[in-house]
Structure 1
Amino acid sequence: MLRITKIITLFVFVTVSSSAVLAQKETSFTLASPNSEIQVEVNIGKNITWTVSNRSHQVISPSRIAMTLENGEELGTTPKVRDSEKKEINTTIDAINYKKDIIEDHYNQLILKFNKNYGLIFRAYDSGVAYRFTTNRKKEFTIASEEVNFNFPEDHMIYIPYANDPANDVYQISFENLYQHIPLSEINKDTIAFAPVLVELPNGMKAAITEADLESYPGMFLKAGDNDFSLKGEFAGYPLEEEQGGHNGLQSFVTKRADYIAKTSGSRSFPWRVVIISNEDKELLNNDMIYKLASAPRIDDTSWIEPGKVTWDWWNDWNISGVDFKAGINTETYKYYTDFAAENGIENILLDEGWAPKGEILNTIPDIDLDEIISYAGSKGVGVWLWSGYLPLAQNMDEALATYSEMGVKGLKVDFMNRDDQKMVDFYYEISRKAAEHQLMLDFHGSYKPTGLQRTYPNVVNFEGVRGLENTKWSNTDFPLYDTRVPYIRMLAGPMDYTPGAMINASKDNFRAIHSAPMSQGTRVHQLALYVLYEAPFNMLADNPTNYKDEPESTAFIASVPTTFDETVALDGKVGEYAAIARRKHDIWYVGAITNWDARDLEIDLSFLPEGDYEAVIFKDGVNADKEATDYKREVINVKSGEQLNVHLANGGGWAARIYPAQ
């Protein structure tokens, strides 16, 4: 539902005759953001190029825009402008299951229409710019390639996550790779990377590159461009042949790709090419551009969609203790998880991999009585989610969705897609639509980054596409460093299924990757703060119920943090160093801050609080947390709006608070 508060529309039409176009060497169009700080210039000559500046500093130097069809026709070569239209939009969006309830949607827009029935739309926001192709043709057509360029005027530093070894199908990846922090000129020219990427500009400015409203089209990868300091888009060819394989045969591997990227309807809009621009790093912690650019909701009734938290079994290897049954993938274990969830106000339990025979979706293993688990959980007010590998679900989609919806399942965690070619993107939309018809929610694991699908289909409540806590089971990745990068980069695209909540915490020297009894890097409070800091409408508790029962204070805080909010305030931060965010649900505020492996002192400004007296339940790193990462201190203090709280974060540490009106 769109609530309109104010619309200011200025139409400027320019109609150019054919003879005038032929005589015209170059035409230039300009577009400014509402605050006039960001400027876009579009030049129409032999080609179409765009240039972007922020506060008079060039962000994107002239970069060509084009699309080539399979028949050799090039949209964007010798273009002839038929007409143009400018307008200003100032309205609001009622967000669903988001980090705020109302989004201010204010932008200026330029629409260019060309001969040959295609067009370009440009938008300028105060926080960035975007453009997209449109076509208005009667017949379907095939796209051979799209030329997307982001040229930079200097050799800036970039945070870039490379894809896999190009000796294999480079487009088949988990989208979990780490960020390389390198100059643009040193980007590996023999591979590709996935978005978002983040470019450092002068004077503390940043530019993030990604896409939005990706539908029936391949996702955009990025690679070294033709210039020394540039990036260009790369797109997976359409899958022609596939074979079953991968983990337990749950994946579909492309063995032959077409020399085209998409077959598409003749009249449509294509994905947005997005540059998010910040003047301070903390602005990236509270950016709404992808949600704004996404298509409007296609579900009329969203009252049944209830995101929340969920107990998770796989990361902790079902390692509950103190019970008189053998813990594992069985009915008794999931009843135990259900009891824990009910006792602590956790809305859901998840049956992860193993509840169904390998490669199947419509049967259960003998030790699982799914009807009994669902009935028992329902009696406790707890929802049941099921994990599924991609291929079995894709092969049995209609029957599986109908069966589990009728049984009372609340949602599905879908895993191992590991692609974003056009065929896979179509799968996301198909299952989102059909799941909504059966009132089932979805969590996409093994997925590409979000591009706004969660707005279009609000029953989609989370995405992975991030190197989450599960990797601590086998990897020595520097997680506190990664944890302080992803809120500024990956989280720009949308929610992250990072799965925090470890109760066994380790300092840098004490950490070991252990598969069956895993631990986190950094402090206990670092884990607690992630529930506030990371956007996740469907948020997991990674550890096992026994460990949570042994840590009631930490568990109570985790349980108290909502997964969607009414307001978000970015407090402070620097990419790769630290981040601090405040979020409000009704009249209660939640604050989370984390640091990398460097201890630091922060000042938390409470000016976001309305006037009045408040109590704050605070979790902070203990005095010995630098060596014993589980060490923390909980305290309750009185606070007021405008106060400054001096906060110390230990190595790999954190700080978390729940602030509510004093009684």
Structure 2
Amino acid sequence: MKNVHKIVSWGTASLWLLVGLVLGCGGALHATAKESLILASPNGQLVAEVSIDKHISYTLTQGDKLLLLPSRLSLEVAEVKKLLDKPQLAKVSRRSVDEVIAPTLPTKSKEIRDHFNEMTIELAQPVSIVFRAYNNGIAYRFVTRIPGQVQVDDELVEYNFSQGDSAWLPVEEGFYSHNERSYIQKPLVQFKRDTLSSLPALVATANAKILITESDLQDYPGLWLKGTGKNALAGTFARFPTKVEMEPNSDRNEPVKARAKYLAITKGERAFPWRILAVAKNDAELLTNQLVYQLAEPSRIADTSWIKPGKVAWDWYNTNNLFGVDFKAGVNTQTYKHYIDFAAEYGLEYVILDEGWYNLGDLLSTAPNMNIEELVAYGKQKNVKIVLWVIWKTLDLQFEAAFDRFEKLGVAGIKVDFMQRDDQGMVNYYWKVTEEAAKRKLLVNLHGAYKPAGLQRTFPNAITREGVKGLEWNKWSYESTPEHNVTLPFIRMVAGAMDYTPGAMSNGIGPAAFKNVKFDGKAPDHQDFSIRFTRPMSQTTRVHQMAMFSVFESPMQMMADTPSNYRKEAESAGFIAKVPAVWDETRVLHAAVGDYLVVARRSGSNWFIGAMGDEFAHELTVDLSFLPAGSFAMESFADGINADFWAEDYQRSERQVSRSDRFTIKLAPAGGWTARLTPLK
């Protein structure tokens, strides 16, 4: 990470309003009555008011609209009883920062303007609370000043909203989870007290959308939410595991059998994770919000030149199904050489060897018919790198020896799977693995994982992450629906890169879309989609899948289908292969959570546009006024005239366009549209 420019100003009184008491940056005051401190965003539109009385609470307003009602915050530490009971204000300091961050892996933009106002509330107790106000959200964190180790017994997190506010929650059955959930939308008051939700979550108020998540999660459990049966959500955490037990005959599933009463044992002098409220006046603003990245600790890797984004030929989704080849396809060296040949032919940077390359339970072994050294060497000849899938528990048990082997083999990275927890111990495991991988110049793709929460900035070799209900769910369920696909970018993707694994070439219209399709005034009595584990298909049109590569963000982006299917559908595959995995600029042209979106992204001088819709048909206008001057050659793919019944039907077009062009695109139910725009000399 480098800062292109940086401007920091202190004590800019014109930006701040203080109600009830005026405090200098260096002054010290002890509270004897209720104090109210106000922090405004740089543009003055978002205002957080912090109240210090018997407890500490805060509100959030946008203009003259109250978004968040008084919501308490607190931290309980065993070593300092009643740490935040009857808090006493000691000092308030403020600063303004305006700098530009250049991400190692730019998922949304080459540069991020990091512009905020900050207020640090130092209490007489050994704790401070830091608030930051950005133009697109606020965040707070605790900073403690307690010598030695401490036991954090609890943390109070409240989000109190107004009557009528609703939410999209990824509802969970328990803390032991892959965090691959559908989003349930309904009024907040209808989420009962026993409702458990992972993050991110999205709240719709009368005047804004508010995304709840966290950043800089280190040595601490992840934040979850509970319903309250009221217009509110309450924070909750997985407590420290005291007993874990591997399931019988399993190398991967290790549920927690007992937990302590506390959350974490950690350093007493530290900063805790940021609690984020990302605020969007309209749905489009959610897609460009990067507060999770901005609030994370900067990169600890000095030389990041070896961290390369790219596309991946993936084997597991399609179960190595090859046809038209002269060898028996499966988990064997010949099959993966074929994958490498395919990757080289289409310009893909990586091939992943998923489950099966080693004898489960022993990362120092190699499965029969597999020669990893030969594959790595073959890949180098073709300029294709190898990524190895591993079970987290086996890696933990063989940590040093396994990493020694990965480094000796010369692979590019590892895909670590099946963690399914985010208590303090597992959060620390993520950091341990990623740091060790960085020492050996290995990329890390985390699966069976909790949501991104800052690690991707601190260790940019943590190149992507699952924690999303992705394409593979079509192998066994109806749950990866078009509506789900156009909900993800507004919620899960705001937290960071997501390994959804797009790119199905076998496509069918599923039951959710068919009920919205009319033929001669009647809905069809059958569906085109079917659940097939070994020959899976998507519940979308072909072009919906193609558009995902411009819409979904992942610096290590999978092409999930089999090389044989991609060669059969060479026109679609050739277009997909040319879509970059990182971006210099993002423009949102249309956006409605769960309904549709149209996103334009720039890589160098080329632009790519992706449009995706839910189960209904949509007509949307594409305005190219964002383009620079000059003419562009546009290659586009649209749903075919019969795509509402035959999902693989598409139409390819070429035309010359400029910034003065406006045109209408038609999305079939579960449909899409996508284009590449190349400047003409």
Query: Which residue does the alignment assign to 1:472?
Result: 474
Other-structure match for 2:296: 294
Match of 1:85 in 2: 93
- Whether the 8 Å CA contact 1:108–1:123 is kept in 2: the answer is yes
1:585 aligns with 2:603: yes
1:440-497 CA distances to partner (integer Å, 9 max, x unpaired)?
Answer: 0000011000012111101011011110000000001151010011100111100110
Structure 1 counterpart of 2:624: 606
List aligned pairs for 1:399-548, cutoff 5 A: 399-477=401-479, 479-508=481-510, 509-548=527-566
Aligned residue for 2:191? 187
Corresponding residue for 2:578? Answer: 560
Distance (Å, rounded) in 2 between the aligned partners of 1:247 and 1:530: 37
Residue aligning to 1:37 = 45
Match of 1:216 in 2: 219
* Cα distance in 1 for residues equivalent to 2:185 and 2:308: 38
- State yes or no: 1:618 paired with 2:643: no
Amino acid at match of 1:633: Q
Aligned to 1:173: 177
Contact 1:349/1:382 (8 A) holds in 2: yes
Displacement of 1:77? 1.7
d(CA) in 1 for partners of 2:636 and 2:145?
A: 57
User: C-alpha displacement at 1:88, in angstroms?
Assistant: 1.2
Q: For structure 2, which runs of at least 5 residues remain unmatched after alignment?
A: 12-23, 511-526
* 1:349 counterpart letter in structure 2: V
**Residues 1:16 and 2:35 aligned together:** no
Q: 1:8 Cα shift?
A: 4.2
1:196-233 C-alpha deviation (Å, 9 max, x unpaired): 11111114x211111111110000010024x7211111
Residues 292-327 of structure 1: CA deviation (Å, up to 9, x unaligned): 001000000000111211111111011101112111
1:502-556 CA-partner distances (Å, limit 9, x unpaired)? 0000012211111011000111000000000001000101100000001111111
- 2:135 is equivalent to residue 126 of structure 1: yes
Alpha-carbon deviations, 1:327-346, whole Å to 9, x = none? 11011100010110011101
* Residues 29 and 91, structure 2, Cα contact 8 Å, conserved in 1: no
Are 1:597 and 2:615 counterparts? yes
Question: Cα 1:410–1:51, aligned 2, differ >3 Å: closer, same or farther?
Answer: same
The answer to whether the 8 A contact 1:5-1:92 is kept is: yes
Native 8 Å contact 2:136 2:278 kept in 1: yes
> Which residue is 2:202 aligned to?
198
SS of the equivalent of 1:462 reads strand
In the TM superposition, residue 177 of structure 1 has moved relative to its aligned partner by: 1.3
State how far apart, in whole Å, the 2-side matches of 1:175 and 1:73 are.
34
Structure 1 residue ranges without an equivalent (≥5): 165-169
Displacement of 1:71 in angstroms is: 4.6
Secondary structure of the residue aligned to 2:39 is strand
- Partners in 2 of 1:189 and 1:132 — Cα distance? 26
Quick one: distance in 2 between partners of 1:210 and 1:497?
19
Flag the 1:75–1:604 CA change in 2: closer, same or farther, 3 A.
farther
Q: Check if 1:55 corresponds to 2:63.
A: yes
Question: May I ask how many residue pairs the two structures share in their alignment?
Answer: 652
Secondary structure at the aligned position of 1:7 is classed as strand
Partner residue, 2:113: 104
Cα shift at 1:359: 2.1
Q: Could you tell me whether the CA contact under 8 Å between 1:600 and 1:649 is conserved in 2? A: yes
SS of alignment partner, residue 266 of structure 1:
strand
**Match for residue 167 of structure 1?**
none
Secondary structure of residue in 2 paired with 1:615: strand
Question: SS at the partner of 1:137?
Answer: strand
Moved beyond 4 Å, runs of 4+: none
**2:391 maps to which of 386, 389, 392:** 389
1:349-405 CA deviation, whole Å, 9 max, x = no partner? 110011111222121111111111111111111000000111001111222112111
- The offset of 1:17, in angstroms, is 4.2
Moved more, 267-276 or 239-248: 239-248
Compared with structure 1, are the counterparts of its residues 247 and 152 closer, same or farther at alpha carbon in structure 2 (3 Å cutoff)? farther
Q: How far does residue 130 in structure 1 lie from its aligned partner after superposition?
A: 0.4
Distance 1:577 1:91 in 2: 35
TM-superposed deviation, 1:15: 2.8
1:336 alignment partner, SS class: helix
In the alignment, the residues of structure 1 paired with residue 327 and residue 335 of structure 2 have an alpha-carbon distance, to the nearest angstrom, of 8
Q: CA deviation at 1:85?
A: 0.8
CA gap of 1:259–1:72, structure 2 versus 1, over 3 A, is farther
Letter in 2 for 1:198: L
Give aligned-pair identity as a percent. Answer: 40
1:17–1:623 CA distance, 2 compared to 1 (3 A): closer
Alignment RMSD (CA, Å)? 1.3
**Residue 3 of structure 2 corresponds to which residue in structure 1?**
3
Counterpart contact for 2:470–2:480, Cα < 8 Å: no
Do the aligned partners of 2:162 and 2:205 also contact (CA within 8 Å) in 1?
no
Mark the CA change 1:516 to 1:247 in structure 2 (over 3 Å): closer, same or farther.
farther
Aligned to 2:376: 374
Q: Is the 8 A contact 1:123 1:130 kept in 2?
A: yes
Secondary structure of the residue that 1:433 maps to in structure 2?
helix
Q: Report the counterpart of residue 16 of structure 2 in structure 1.
A: none
Aligned to 2:160: 151
Q: 1:6: how far off?
A: 4.4
Q: Could you tell me which of 75, 85, 96 is aligned with 1:67? A: 75
Change (3 A) 1:100 1:323: same
1:315 touches 1:518 (CA, 8 Å); kept in 2? yes
Q: Does structure 1 retain, via aligned residues, the 8 Å contact 2:353–2:388?
A: yes
What is the deviation of 1:72? 6.6
Match of 2:171 among 156, 162, 165: 162
Maintained 8 Å contact 1:121/1:131: yes
SS in 2 for 1:140: strand
Are positions 1:575 and 2:593 aligned together?
yes
Compute the displacement of 1:9 (Å).
1.4
1:627 to 625, 638, 645: 645
1:642 and 1:146 mapped to 2: Cα distance? Answer: 54
SS at match of 2:378: helix
**2:48 counterpart letter in structure 1:** V
CA contact (8 A) 1:576 1:596 kept: yes
- 1:10 Cα shift? 2.6
CA contact (8 A) 1:415 1:446 kept: yes
User: C-alpha displacement at 1:188, in angstroms?
Assistant: 2.7
- Following the alignment from structure 2 to structure 1, what is the Cα–Cα distance between the partners of residues 247 and 342? 36
Structure 1 position 646, deviation (Å): 1.1
**1:182 to partner: Cα distance:** 1.1
Task: From the superposition, tell whether residues 366 and 436 of structure 1 become closer, same or farther in structure 2 (CA, over 3 Å).
Answer: same
Amino acid at match of 1:140: Q
Counterparts of 1:610 and 1:432, CA distance in 2: 40
Alpha-carbon spacing, 1:620–1:247, altered in 2? closer, same or farther (3 Å): farther
The TM-score, its normalising length taken from structure 2, stands at: 0.94
Distance in 1 between the 2:621 and 2:111 partners? 28
